[in-house]
A and B are shown apart, each in its own frame.
Chain A
Amino acid sequence: MFPDWFNSRPIRAAVDNALEWVVKYWGGALEAAAHPLLILLNSIERFLLAVPWWVLILFFTVAAFGATRKAALPIVVFVSLIFLGVMELWEDAVKTMALMVAATLTAIVFSLPIGILMARSALVRRIVMPILDLMQTLPSFVYLIPTVMVFGPGKVPALIATIVYAAPPLVRLTDLGIRLVNPNVLEAATAFGADRRQRLFGVQIPLALPTILAGINQTTMMALAMVVIASMIGAGGLGYQVLQGIGRLEVSRGLFAGLGIVALAIIFDRITQAYGKQLQARIGVTGEVR
């Protein structure tokens, strides 16, 4: 047994009390602060549900064709979406899609500036890196419970948990992409008198874009991986169906909803990846001039 050097109970109690204090005095303020997230998620969900099913199918099929210029991916996308509809999973799939899109958009808004700051300052990188490691390795239930205590069960904590889990790769890849920009190109821009803003928006971000896009792809995938857990605290959608399937020992319900999640993953992954490749080809294979 590890010797009982000191009593850790006060520390635990302090943490618990602190959370209770936050819930009591800051709960309302935090909820108000997170309200825009709810508005974002609800409007995306409402929009996607208002759009006729065939328009959505058409949109994704055309997007797949635009990304690859081949028949294979559009066919896969088309069949996957028809599968979701036929299996009566359309509404759930759209809700899951809305959660994923909302989480990804929010992650982009936060991650890009943080990634850019990291690329510019070694100090910022030293501070942010361990936080990212923590976000990716801390079991999600650990922060899920406090989030639910603060915001109450519902879509907001689900969305926040999804963002916490899904944002780190985008931050990392934004930082990496900007640091990997060919220094010769950057030097040329400086020599012609470009200021920091002109270098950032005219050179660094465009050249880092393929890497940033890979980060967005990662974020969408990780957001999808969170949907089952998110459904435990009030997010509906395919995750909720899986959860119910488990709860009721209805294998078929869990299986088909699970396959639905896979279908969504394939659609978003392949389309974003194909656009990333297109972008890379446009600026040369490695983004480097030789």
Chain B
Amino acid sequence: MSAVIEAKNITKIFGESPETAVRMLEQGSSKADVQAETGQVVGLNRVSIAVEPGEIFVVMGLSGSGKSTLIRHVNRLIEPTAGEMWVNGRNVLELNESDLRTFRRNELAMVFQNFGLLPHRSVIDNVAYGLEIRGAEKAERRKKAAHWIERVGLAGYEESQPHELSGGQQQRVGLARALAMDTDILLMDEAFSALDPLIRSGMQDELKTLQRELNKTILFISHDFDEAVKIGDRIAVLNDGAIVQCDKPENIILKPADDYVAEFVRDVNKARVIHVGSIMEKDIETPCDHNVVGAASCEDVLPLFAEHDWVGVTDEFGQRIGRITAKRVIAALARHAA
């Protein structure tokens, strides 16, 4: 299966003469070394990621880690210093100006941290903006826009101006504008970061619900590890412009690659992320009164331990594959809490 978005050794240097900086990075120098020696700022250091079709791939990092720079390479809002960016089987960096526009109009859509709405246009005209740029007929684009406004829960606000809406509502407009493009790829740059915690959590749930139905390939940028864990099928942790670890959320939490990643993992609600299937005993003999599926989280089985000392674990077809005890769950959760 080939990746939909594939970054190959993308390096981005901000500065006048990036050649020496690139050479230093290739020889293993760190971002700090390069900056001290050449004065060039390393945005991205040989980043390679491969986003598979239909997955939500989260790039997670603190501010300055280069995550927003990375996502802007996918639609070439930023030109890399070195490396290749393959999207839908084509190297985006080889497109000429007009092909690049066609690519942006038809193959991907983007949601922004600061929403990027057009303040002089009504909600429906904002949602229809991408279709308008693409050259769609007015009747068609208004019909599609109205449909997506309803899907994101803004029915009745079609003729409002963006500044009349709350932050959460404005980002729904941003999301509807991207979804209306009906592209397979969705780029989301800290899409929920500017929102209040409760609203953010609600939007995350909605995105997951939408994704179950739409099955898009989503590259999601976040500085919030909880968010990454909640919505990501896979997470790449970025630090100082380089990928530190790239794996399923559970694996990152169970085996953080270094102290930097461990720091994030410490504060995360592990009970929700760790699946019983990955910490169970492979014991299929002991009889159990109650069974859960291996994909269930520790959080899901905790209430069961009020009455049982252990519960059985089955695969998705109900076949017994193991057993999970309260002790094991506690051990798994406690191991990382220290």
Q: With contacts A191-B75, A192-B177 known, what are 13 further pairs, Cβ within 8 A?
A: A184-B114, A185-B116, A185-B118, A188-B118, A191-B77, A191-B187, A193-B102, A282-B161, A283-B161, A288-B119, A289-B114, A289-B116, A289-B162
The reply on A252 being an interface residue by CB < 8 A is: no
Against B, the Cβ 8 Å flags (1 = close, 0 = not) of A269-290 are 0000000000000111101111
The reply on B40 being an interface residue by CB < 8 A is: no
Against A, the Cβ 8 Å flags (1 = close, 0 = not) of B130-174 are 100110000000000000000000000000011100010010000
* B119 smallest CB distance to A (angstroms): 4
Do residues A192 and B162 form an inter-chain contact, with CB atoms below 8 A?
no
| Contact flag A289-B170 (CB < 8 Å), given A188-B116, A193-B102, A284-B163 | yes
| Contact flag A188-B161 (CB < 8 Å), given A193-B104, A289-B119 | no
| Contact flag A185-B117 (CB < 8 Å), given A190-B77, A284-B161 | yes
Chain A residues within an 8 Å CB radius of B109: 192
* B23 smallest CB distance to A (angstroms): 31
Chain A residues within an 8 Å CB radius of B114: 184, 289-290
The reply on A4 being an interface residue by CB < 8 A is: no
Do residues B119 and A192 form an inter-chain contact, with CB atoms below 8 A?
no
| Contact flag A193-B161 (CB < 8 Å), given A184-B114, A206-B120, A289-B117 | no
CA distance A188 to B104 in the complex (A): 11
- Pairs A–B under 8 Å by Cβ, sample size 10: A185-B119, A187-B77, A188-B112, A191-B75, A191-B187, A192-B109, A193-B104, A193-B105, A206-B120, A287-B119
* B85 smallest CB distance to A (angstroms): 15
Do residues A193 and B119 form an inter-chain contact, with CB atoms below 8 A?
no
Choice from B102, B104, B106, B119 contacting A191 with Cβ under 8 Å: B104
Chain A residues within an 8 Å CB radius of B167: 290
Against A, the Cβ 8 Å flags (1 = close, 0 = not) of B78-112 are 00000000000000000000000111111001101
**Taking each of B110, B130, B162, B163, which has the highest tally of chain A beta carbons within 10 Å of its own beta carbon?**
B163
| Contact flag A184-B161 (CB < 8 Å), given A192-B105, A195-B101 | no
Do residues A282 and B120 form an inter-chain contact, with CB atoms below 8 A?
yes
CA distance A190 to B187 in the complex (A): 14
Residues of A within 8 A of B (CB): 182, 184-185, 187-195, 198, 202-203, 206-207, 209, 282-285, 287-290
* A206 smallest CB distance to B (angstroms): 5
Chain A residues within an 8 Å CB radius of B310: none
Do residues B133 and A192 form an inter-chain contact, with CB atoms below 8 A?
yes
Nearest opposing residue in chain A for B109, CB measure: A192
| Contact flag A283-B119 (CB < 8 Å), given A191-B110, A192-B129, A198-B133 | yes
B residues 33-86 near A (Cβ < 8 Å) are 75, 77
| Contact flag A193-B116 (CB < 8 Å), given A283-B161, A284-B162 | no
CA distance A221 to B177 in the complex (A): 42
* B70 smallest CB distance to A (angstroms): 15
| Contact flag A203-B75 (CB < 8 Å), given A191-B104, A191-B110 | no
The reply on B220 being an interface residue by CB < 8 A is: no
Do residues B133 and A193 form an inter-chain contact, with CB atoms below 8 A?
yes
Chain B residues within an 8 Å CB radius of A193: 101-106, 130, 133-134
Do residues A188 and B110 form an inter-chain contact, with CB atoms below 8 A?
yes
CA distance A189 to B120 in the complex (A): 13
CA distance A98 to B187 in the complex (A): 54
Chain A residues within an 8 Å CB radius of B163: 283-285, 289-290
Nearest opposing residue in chain A for B134, CB measure: A193
Chain A residues within an 8 Å CB radius of B75: 191
CA distance A203 to B162 in the complex (A): 15
**Taking each of B77, B116, B133, B167, which has the highest tally of chain A beta carbons within 10 Å of its own beta carbon?**
B116
